[in-house]
Amino acid sequence: MSHYVITLSCPDRTGIVARISTFLAELGASITEAAYHADVEAGVFCTRQVVDAGSVPFDVDELRARFAPVAAELGGEHRISDTGVRKRAVLLVTRDQHCLHDILGRVWADELPVEITRVIGNHTALEPVVAAHGLPFHHVPFPAAGDPAREQGKVTAFEEIRKLVDADAPDAIVLARFMQVLPAHLCEAWAGRAINIHHSFLPSFAGARPYHQAHRRGVKLIGATCHYATADLDAGPIIEQDVARVDHGDTAADMVRRGRDIERLVLARGLRWHLEDRVLIQGNRTVVFR
């Protein structure tokens, strides 16, 4: 069964729910799921409405055209998607394979509603994994540290990545442990679509080698954070987080091993919620209708 998913964020005021409900009722649309959130401090109202596509007497493009004046009247930003159209994603990887294995396995098992159009890596280590799933792999090398032409080489590499990604017009660009920092212009171009998994419970231990930072600090909890990539390193809107308990007997290697399990789950949840239009970005925060 196909559904139309309507998301809206607008200035909070009385009558928003009634206006949307009346609009859908007049179409004869059957609402199968509805969620609401009012941010009193920010004065913003957010909602996610799911309707049975079969109950709407026209296609999604007509629904978008008819709902646009309602959204304009409410002064909000909105989106309408059709679950009958499978969304697309590009994966960016380096050498770490646990997140890639997890995502590809979930897609193969039809647990993630997405088509992986291609995988791009700055090393070839994961090409056999991608090939085993029958997906195209593109190797875009980056210059090594110490190379005098490194900065220009990175510019060239990211331009090639941009062309490959934009050719697919994906709904999500997933940095599945892609250990390169996206330049600001790509963060802007892919805003709200570039999803990163950081191996720390942000805002603690941002940047490189967070498990080793955590081990030196003697923490009792380690975690992972799925967030949208922005020009501010590891500081974009957070989609999902989780933690695991550790103690004084755990080495940094133990933390890395345990952390990988958290990373898999957190990235899978965050990506799913993004694909299902459950995430509404509000500045540097998110509303997530789980």
pLDDT, one tens digit per residue, over 40-55 is 999 999 999 999 999 9
- Residues of the chain with pLDDT > 90: what percent? 79
Q: Are residues 62 and 133 located together in one domain of the fold?
A: no
Q: Which pLDDT value is given to residue 150?
A: 81
Contacts 24+ apart (CB under 8 A), 283-286: 283/42, 283/237, 284/230, 284/235, 284/236, 284/237, 285/237, 285/238, 286/228, 286/237, 286/238, 286/239
Of 32, 52, 82, the domain-final residue: 82
30 and 66 co-located in one domain:
yes
Q: Which of 72, 53, 76 is nearest to 63 (CA)?
A: 53
User: Could you tell me the CA-to-CA distances from 228 to 150, 192, 240 in Å, in that order?
Assistant: 26, 6, 10
Look at 213 and 96; give whichever has higher pLDDT. 96
Clarify whether residues 76 and 92 are in a common domain. no
| Amino acid type, 228 | Y
Task: Tell me, yes or no, whether 188 and 266 share the same domain.
Answer: yes
Query: Count of alpha carbons within 13 Å of 133, Cβ hemisphere only?
Result: 22
Same domain, 104 and 124: yes
Reported as a single tens digit per residue, the pLDDT across 153-201 is 999 999 999 999 999 999 999 999 998 999 999 999 999 999 999 887 8
Picking from 42, 64, 82, the residue at the C-terminal end of a domain is 82
Judge if 147 and 227 occupy the same domain.
Answer: yes
Helix (H) or strand (E) holding 260: helix 252-275
pLDDT digits (tens, 9 = 90+) for 65-99: 999 999 999 999 999 999 999 999 999 999 999 99
pLDDT value at position 68? 97
36 and 130 together in one domain = no
pLDDT of residue 222: 85
Structure token digits, residue 49: 């409405």
Q: Of 82, 101, 123, which residue constitutes the final position of a domain? A: 82
Q: Are residues 62 and 177 in the same domain?
A: no
Q: Taking Cα atoms as reference points, which of 144, 143, 187 lies closest to residue 162?
A: 187
Q: What is the DSSP letter of 200?
A: S
Q: Are residues 65 and 101 in the same domain?
A: no
> CA geometry: angle at 251 spanning 250 and 257, to 5°?
85
* Residue 205: pLDDT over 80: no
Q: What is the CATH number of the domain that holds 282?
A: 3.40.50.170
CB neighbour burial string for 242-255, b if at least 16 within 10 angstroms, e if fewer: eeeebeeebeeeeb
Q: Which residue has the tokens 């394979």?
A: 97
- pTM (two decimals): 0.94
Answer yes or no: is pLDDT of 207 > 80. Answer: no
Tell me: do 114 and 65 sit in the same domain.
no
CATH of the domain at 24: 3.30.70.260
Full residue range of the structural domain in which residue 130 is found: 87-288
* Same domain (yes/no): 178, 192: yes
**pLDDT in the model for residue 214:** 80
Q: How far apart are CA 189 and CA 162, in angstroms?
A: 9
Domain count, the chain: 2
Per-residue pLDDT tens for 222-277?
889 999 999 988 889 999 999 989 888 888 888 888 889 999 999 999 999 999 99
Residues recognised as catalytic: 234
Same domain, residue pair 154 and 23: no
Instruction: Say how far apart CA 165 and CA 203 lie, in whole Å.
Output: 28
